[in-house]
Amino acid sequence: MFQPTWLPRRRPLLHKATFVASTVFAWLLFVHIHYLFAKPSTYTHLDETQLQVQVQEDETHHSFQSIDPCPTSREVLSIKAYEAMSDECVEEWVAHHQWSSACTGTNLSEGLKVDGVWAWVNGTDPLQIAAREQYKPGTAMKMDAAHRYVEHNELLYSMRSALTSLGNENMQRMHILASAYRHSNASGKMMTGQVPTWLEKAKALTGESAVVLHHDADYFKPIESPGTNLSSEKTQEWREAVLPTFNSLAVEAQIQNIDHVSSDQLVYFNDDFFTLRKLAVSDFTTPLYGPVIKTLTRFTSMYLPAKKTIWRTFNPAGEEPGIKRAAWVLGMRFSMRPYYYITHHPRTLWLPLLREAAQTFPEAFTNTPLSRFRAQDDVPASIQAVFLGSWYVVERHREALLWSWVVAKWGGTSGELSTMTKDDMWEELAGGTASSKSLLHISVPVRAPILDTEVFKKANISLPTSTEYSFSSKDGYALSYVDSMWPWNRPRHGYPDLTSGLMGNTSSQLTQDPNFVAANACVINRLTCFGVSQENETANDFFKRIAFENPRCGDCIVTALIGASGVSGIDKFLPDHLAGADSASYSDTLTSPPHLPLTSNWTTTDFSMPDAIPKGSLPANMTLRTWCIRLIQRYSYVLGSVESDLYKVERAGDLEVKMSEIELKVQEDGWARGPLTFLCLNDDIKDTGKLRNRIDELLVSFFEKMWPDRMNFEKED
Ligand SMILES: *[C@@H]1O[C@H](CO)[C@@H](O)[C@H](O)[C@H]1NC(C)=O
Ligand SMILES: *[C@@H]1O[C@H](CO)[C@@H](O)[C@H](O)[C@H]1NC(C)=O
Ligand SMILES: *[C@@H]1O[C@H](CO)[C@@H](O)[C@H](O)[C@H]1NC(C)=O
Ligand SMILES: *[C@@H]1O[C@H](CO)[C@@H](O)[C@H](O)[C@H]1NC(C)=O
Ligand SMILES: *[C@@H]1O[C@H](CO)[C@@H](O)[C@H](O)[C@H]1NC(C)=O
Ligand SMILES: *[C@@H]1O[C@H](CO)[C@@H](O)[C@H](O)[C@H]1NC(C)=O
Ligand SMILES: *[C@@H]1O[C@H](CO)[C@@H](O)[C@H](O)[C@H]1NC(C)=O
Ligand SMILES: *[C@@H]1O[C@H](CO)[C@@H](O)[C@H](O)[C@H]1NC(C)=O
Ligand SMILES: *[C@@H]1O[C@H](CO)[C@@H](O)[C@H](O)[C@H]1NC(C)=O
């Protein structure tokens, strides 16, 4: 079982300086104590496994010839559910937030199912133990301790729990990501992969059934940077350097390469994640709002970007270095800013968007698996791919909004913004009133509720059973509100309630109310954001300044235009219906599916309309406006929240109490903070001997009691 050693709930709430000082102190103390009490070696009992293990095909192993690898394709994948919507429907839904005649009858079925994905390793398998021993780096290195690999059949029950919660019709396929090892005696490409004891191996290997077993040797691939080619020798070299792997971050950085998926929407589980109640697909994803990303916006779960971090020295096996590095990688492409933790529970990842993140950051994704073990420091830095892939969507959405406004709407075919055009843009931000001002104070927009039950009904989509939709990209850029508003003004799990608590009031009623004073959201400074006013400039330069160089400009401009678009919709960002409609020059430069440059550094990227966009084909009759709408739609998302519990299994006594508490919370629908939905049982067992056996018993009986129903790909007893 893969485990993080560090989880954010454990961090105390402190001010920054105190925090840094006390953290450094705590770590020094920790390192000291760690050495005092560390057992001589976690691996002493493994000596006898130095023998060559000769495993071929048996009940729990599968031998196969590893295929000749080729790099991940750089072809951009379209999103099937969005393809199913007509141009008229996306105009109606994305631009105006209405689901009526143009959308009625749209077949959304492609967006209404998910594939479950589980990372798993059997750490008690002699083959795995021998391989681990063989590959462990020579230098003294704090490795994952052996207790991290203890088995209680978590995978089986984690999968059962997900299937019980979602049902076969919503989760049509489940994927197991398992490890494989080179044959110790074979010269060629023969590999032996692990197979869970309880799994019907023959079914899982067809690639066509409800369960698909993937071995790392099959799907681990590097990805080329634009303009470079990886020869097959280079690709093979990379594979030699990364496989076998003992690092969950490496596995997560390769999820975008799995095949045999039955839907674009993946839900990624660690094998110690469990779901406790009936869930709808909309708890994870909808074709209306995009993936539901669960974040923690507490101050203590905020990560500052860092190219390198001292955490890599102090707690190299923890999550911190990979997350901060991911934030830095995002920052080089979008803008440096802190990001928040993605909760340690089932996580929604849309395969086409995750693939696109890898295409955008080939180096980060290709380097991560070079750490065979979590804590290696003689290789390039790793990223936490789930964190990167989640915030990637949020950043692309912001970029799409700003690009549509600056480059498509105002830059137009000329790609030039004259001073007069810039005056008009300023006027638009000012709402047509205060154009002589050099500062614009932008109010918090008043918007319709996120989750529109009428639309769910019309589109025949079940409402989420357990998830609060806290923020939707239909209301702009989530982090600008988090940056500019006090936590107590953000009641929706860290995000603001943009209906102002006046649901049922339209904004015109609201703003006509003489007593209504909208709160200030942010300020746009003309000089900082619009540049030296007497100069013409290219739309590309203007876009890069507000979007990336002075990101607060872009954040606030998004907020202003969201407010100006009314209670719903994003009309103000979009070029008008005629723009580009009869201009053949767009047709062969815009791409389908719509996306902006897949480069990893904004400073060296050209975003101008004819040059920047990679060559591709656009349906000849698609307008520039529709292209922009589909670009923005591609990156739609919801930030949501679910009642969840992350529990460290340490001692039998505590566990017994906890198990009965959980059973109660699941039965009692009226538990104070809502029914408990996600559970993570983090294995950090401290007990030994009889008590340790007691823990094993407790877990197994809890699992059997909660999820007794067998899946149809389990072996007969
Ligand atoms: C909707 O599309 C799916 C595949 O995309 C297809 O299997 C299904 O039959 C369609 N449903 C209707 C009612 O057309
Ligand atoms: C490897 O070991 C297996 C099982 O012991 C044996 O059948 C096979 O011939 C060996 N292969 C080589 C290349 O030595
Ligand atoms: C893991 O490997 C051990 C040793 O081969 C085996 O007893 C156990 O059943 C395996 N567990 C699973 C889930 O496959
Ligand atoms: C990479 O390979 C493709 C096709 O094999 C070729 O068209 C392209 O020019 C090559 N690019 C470079 C940079 O070598
Ligand atoms: C700026 O653009 C306007 C309109 O395109 C043009 O008339 C003017 O000459 C330009 N000014 C400069 C300094 O290039
Ligand atoms: C609504 O969806 C359900 C499945 O979720 C399906 O059985 C039913 O036929 C659909 N109704 C309509 C009107 O499409
Ligand atoms: C709408 O706003 C007005 C004035 O703020 C208030 O009196 C009224 O109760 C609100 N209506 C609803 C349905 O909330
Ligand atoms: C991005 O480009 C800038 C300017 O060319 C350069 O200074 C910076 O090092 C680049 N960043 C990365 C990560 O390559
Ligand atoms: C574009 O052309 C296709 C096929 O000819 C047609 O189905 C579609 O309705 C057209 N779209 C618009 C916006 O004219």
Summarised one tens digit per residue, pLDDT across range 135-188 is 877 654 444 444 445 678 999 999 999 999 999 999 999 999 999 998 755 555
pLDDT on residue 48: 31
158 by Cβ neighbours in 10 Å (0-12 / 13-18 / 19+) ranks as buried
Tell me the CA–centroid distance for residue 668 and ligand 1, in Å. 38
Q: Is the CB of 185 under 6 A from ligand 2?
A: yes
For ligand 8, atom 7, which residue shows the shortest CA distance? 603
pLDDT on residue 674: 60
Give the least confident one: 203-207, 476-480, 621-625: 621-625
Given a contact cutoff of 8 angstroms between Cβ atoms, the answer to whether 196 and 122 are in contact is: yes
> Over the stretch 343-387, which tens digit does the pLDDT of each residue have?
999 999 999 999 999 999 999 999 999 988 876 767 888 899 999
Mean pLDDT of the chain: 83
* Residues 551, 544: Cα–Cα separation, whole Å: 9
Give the least confident one: 264-273, 342-351, 406-415, 584-593: 584-593
Task: Provide the pLDDT confidence category of residue 15 given band limits of 50, 70 and 90.
Answer: very low
pLDDT on residue 616: 44
Neighbours of 306 (CB within 10 A): 18
Task: Tell me the mean pLDDT in the region 636-650.
Answer: 91
Q: Is the CB of 262 under 6 A from ligand 1?
A: no
- Phi and psi at 680, nearest 5°, equal -120, 125
Task: Tell me the mean pLDDT in the region 51-58.
Answer: 63
**Ligand nearest 106 Cα, by number?**
1
Extract the tokens encoding 167: 């049902």
Task: Provide the pLDDT confidence category of residue 415 given band limits of 50, 70 and 90.
Answer: confident
Tell me the CA–centroid distance for residue 8 and ligand 4, in Å. 45
User: In terms of pLDDT, which residue wins out, 144 or 597?
Assistant: 597
Q: Are strands 171-178 and 114-119 parallel, antiparallel or unpaired?
A: parallel
> Over the stretch 509-528, which tens digit does the pLDDT of each residue have?
555 555 556 678 899 999 99
Q: What residues line ligand 9, using a CB cutoff of 6 Å?
A: 87, 619, 621
pLDDT on residue 519: 74
Query: Residues 473, 475, 480, 481: is their CA dihedral positive or negative?
Result: negative
Atom number in ligand 4 closest to CA 229: 1
pLDDT on residue 346: 96
**Omega prior to 244 cis, within 30 of 0:** yes
Atom number in ligand 1 closest to CA 84: 5
Extract the tokens encoding 401: 């909004």
pLDDT on residue 306: 85
* Residues 296, 659: Cα–Cα separation, whole Å: 25
Packing angle, helices 551-564 and 385-403, rounded to 10: 60
- Three-class secondary structure assignment of 269-310: EECCEEECCCCCHHHCEECCCEEEEEEECCHHHEECCCCCCC
For residue 307, give Cα distances in angstroms to 7, 319, 695: 21, 14, 41
* Residues 542, 425: Cα–Cα separation, whole Å: 12
* Residues 406, 419: Cα–Cα separation, whole Å: 14
For ligand 5, atom 14, which residue shows the shortest CA distance? 536
| Ligand 4 binding pocket mutation candidate from 229, 232, 615 (most atoms within 8 A of CB) | 229
Tell me the CA–centroid distance for residue 124 and ligand 3, in Å. 6
pLDDT on residue 185: 54
Task: Tell me the mean pLDDT in the region 188-200.
Answer: 88
Tell me the CA–centroid distance for residue 153 and ligand 3, in Å. 9
Task: Tell me the mean pLDDT in the region 257-283.
Answer: 95
Q: What residues line ligand 8, using a CB cutoff of 6 Å?
A: 332, 601, 603-604
Atom number in ligand 8 closest to CA 603: 2
Give the DSSP letter of residue 252.
H
Q: Is the CB of 583 under 6 A from ligand 1?
A: no
pLDDT on residue 107: 96
Give the least confident one: 18-27, 299-308, 314-323: 18-27
Query: What percent of the chain is modeled with pLDDT above 90?
Result: 51
Task: Provide the pLDDT confidence category of residue 190 given band limits of 50, 70 and 90.
Answer: confident
Tell me the CA–centroid distance for residue 72 and ligand 4, in Å. 15
What is the model's pTM?
Answer: 0.88
Task: Provide the pLDDT confidence category of residue 42 given band limits of 50, 70 and 90.
Answer: very low
* Residues 452, 330: Cα–Cα separation, whole Å: 32
The answer to whether residue 211 scores a pLDDT higher than 90 is yes
**Ligand nearest 112 Cα, by number?**
6
The answer to whether residue 715 scores a pLDDT higher than 70 is yes
The answer to whether residue 7 scores a pLDDT higher than 70 is no
* Residues 49, 134: Cα–Cα separation, whole Å: 10
For ligand 7, atom 8, which residue shows the shortest CA distance? 505
For ligand 9, atom 6, which residue shows the shortest CA distance? 621
Task: Tell me the mean pLDDT in the region 599-627.
Answer: 74
Task: Tell me the mean pLDDT in the region 284-303.
Answer: 91
pLDDT on residue 16: 36
Q: Is the CB of 110 under 6 A from ligand 1?
A: yes
Task: Tell me the mean pLDDT in the region 530-538.
Answer: 84
The answer to whether residue 308 scores a pLDDT higher than 90 is no
pLDDT on residue 703: 93
Task: Tell me the mean pLDDT in the region 37-43.
Answer: 30
Task: Tell me the mean pLDDT in the region 249-268.
Answer: 96
Tell me the CA–centroid distance for residue 111 and ligand 1, in Å. 11
The answer to whether residue 100 scores a pLDDT higher than 90 is yes
| Sequence-distant (≥ 6) Cβ neighbours of residue 614 within 8 angstroms | 591, 597, 598
**Omega prior to 597 cis, within 30 of 0:** no
